[in-house]
């Protein structure tokens, strides 16, 4: 549930502090991500989508004809994990997987009409969900946060 660490206590140790944990940036980011992900999951569930399938739809919509390898890179995940994801989207006729004549190893991914329609609906729902979740928070604060997150991403040597 919502109640963090400062909720009511029974006996034993008194109110639990997480000061030591909160000193680390990473822990705060993780907690924020958990909240966002939980809400996003609620939003996507009625559409039969997960965060990763929604992200894939968005990327395919934005980059028609891209390959699975390109999609994997854009999602910063490994190729094998994409197979079941694209299978799922193709199985629901949201995405087409067409052979590329010039390189018969690769598939060109495109949204179907149904895929584009679903994506539009879901995107609207997710935008609304984010607006609710961020209600009362200045857009400038969110922009500032995103800018800082991008700086961190750039500093990262590992997988993004």
Partner DNA sequence: TATTGTTATACTCTATAACTATA
Partner DNA sequence: TATAGTTATAGAGTATAACAATA
Structure tokens at 19: 């000061």
Q: Please, which of residues 30-69 interact with DNA by CB under 7 A?
A: 34, 50-52, 67-69
- For residues 33 and 137, which CB has a smaller minimum distance to DNA in the complex? 33
The 3-state secondary structure of 84-148, one letter per residue: HHHHHHHHCCCEEEEEECCEEEEEEEEECHHHHHHHHHHHHHHHHHHHHHCCCCCHHHHHHHHHH
- For residues 144 and 150, which CB has a smaller minimum distance to DNA in the complex? 150
Among 36, 47, 92, 106, contact with DNA (rule: CB under 7 A): 106
Query: Does 7 sit near DNA (CB under 7 A)?
Result: no
Structure tokens at 156: 């990262």
C-beta atoms surrounding 129 within 10 Å: 16
> Which range binds DNA by CB under 7 A, 56-64, 96-104, 123-131, 146-154?
96-104
Q: Which does 157 bind (CB under 5 to 8 A by kind): a copy of itself, DNA, none?
A: a copy of itself
Give the x/- contact pattern for DNA in 114-153, rule: CB under 7 A.
----------------------------------------
Q: What is the C-alpha to C-alpha distance for residues 52 and 73, in angstroms, rounded to an integer?
A: 13
Residue 17 burial by CB count (10 A; 0-12/13-18/19+): exposed, middle or buried?
exposed
- For residues 23 and 102, which CB has a smaller minimum distance to DNA in the complex? 102
- For residues 43 and 68, which CB has a smaller minimum distance to DNA in the complex? 68
**How many residues make up the chain in this entry?**
160
Write out the residues near DNA by the rule CB under 7 A.
Answer: 10, 34, 50-52, 67-70, 72, 77-83, 86-87, 97, 102-107, 159
């Amino acid at each position: 549930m919502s109640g963090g660490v400062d909720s009511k206590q029974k006996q034993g140790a008194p109110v639990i502090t997480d000061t030591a944990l909160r000193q680390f940036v990473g822990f705060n980011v993780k907690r924020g991500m958990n909240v966002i992900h939980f809400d996003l999951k609620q939003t996507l569930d009625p559409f039969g989508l997960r965060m990763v399938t929604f992200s894939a739809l968005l990327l395919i919509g934005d980059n028609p004809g891209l390959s699975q390898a390109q999609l994997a890179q854009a999602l910063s995940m490994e190729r094998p994990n994409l197979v079941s994801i694209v299978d799922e989207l193709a199985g629901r006729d949201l995405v087409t997987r067409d052979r590329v004549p010039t390189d018969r190893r690769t598939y060109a991914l495109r949204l179907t009409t149904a895929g584009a329609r679903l994506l539009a609906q879901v995107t609207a729902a997710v935008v609304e969900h984010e607006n609710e979740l961020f209600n009362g928070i200045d857009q400038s604060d969110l922009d500032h946060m995103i800018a800082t997150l991008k700086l961190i991403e750039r500093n990262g040597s590992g997988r993004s």
